[in-house]
Homo-oligomer: A and B are copies of this chain.
Amino acid sequence: MADIPMIEHQVQEYLDKLAGKLPAPGGGSAAALAGALGAASGAMVASFTVGKKKYADVEEEIQGHLDAIEAIRGEMARLVDEDVTAYGAVGAAYGMPKGTEEEKAARTAAIQEALKAAAAVPMRLAEQCAALVEHLPPLLEKGNPNLVSDVGVAAKLAEAACECAWLNVEVNLAYIKDDDFTNHARAETESHLSQVREICHNVWHGTASAVTG
């Protein structure tokens, strides 16, 4: 099977591989893709705002949000594959020989390093979700109102991706024996998640009010 990146798979093939009995992609990759879908939905709102006479007075500001969101989307798209790579490295470390005491020690060290690298992927996803949602309130306020529901979709998907990122960080932390690392990872991820929840709550209510009148 050709080793092409997940992000270059057809959508249907990606879904099939996610659903099947394959080591990867897993829920961490799916969460990153959900985040990228949220970022793309936000980018769409900005894309349909810039370049229109009607929104000329906010053009520069919205273009700035668009550029920032697109950078975040690129990072999230990379995490779709990096999660697969990191997860594979954990499996490889567990597969190391453990015949001698030396081998055992090397294997344990490799597992711990691989788990930290695997935790770092959802940590970055949570960070990117927090960065993404900061751009949503101005899009709701000043973006093309024909796409107001897409701001809501961006918020819901970013929030779901961040919740999943938190869960996937915790899954890895459970096996990491470095308290400094786990304390830092947990504090940082929880901070991102609480920021995401607060902003998304407000954006969602603003969107729903705009839609239901």
Chain A contact residues, CB within 8 Å of chain B: 6-12, 14-16, 18-21, 26-27, 30-31, 33-34, 36-41, 43-44, 47-48, 51, 70, 73, 77, 80, 147, 149-150, 152-154, 156-157, 159-160, 163-164, 167-168, 170-171, 174, 204, 207-208, 211-213
Contact = CB atoms under 8 A, between A and B. Distances in A.
A158 to B, nearest CB: 9
A159 B160 contact: yes
Contacts of A10: 7-11
Contacts of A11: 6-11, 14, 33, 77, 80
Contacts of A51: 21
A55 to B, nearest CB: 13
A181 B53 CA distance: 37
Given A7-B12, A11-B11, A37 B33 contact: yes
Contact of A153 (B20, B27, B150): B27
13 contacts: A9-B11, A11-B33, A11-B77, A15-B77, A19-B39, A19-B40, A19-B41, A20-B44, A27-B149, A34-B34, A152-B164, A156-B164, A157-B160
B27 A43 contact: no
Contacts of A149: 27, 167-168, 170-171
- Secondary structure at the A interface, as helix, strand, loop or mixed, is helix
A26 to B, nearest CB: 6
A20 B154 CA distance: 14
Contacts of A40: 15-16, 18-19, 30
A160 B11 CA distance: 19
Given A10-B9, A41-B27, A163-B156, A19 B70 contact: yes
Which of A34, A80, A159 is the most central at the interface, judged by chain B CB atoms within 10 Å of its CB? A34
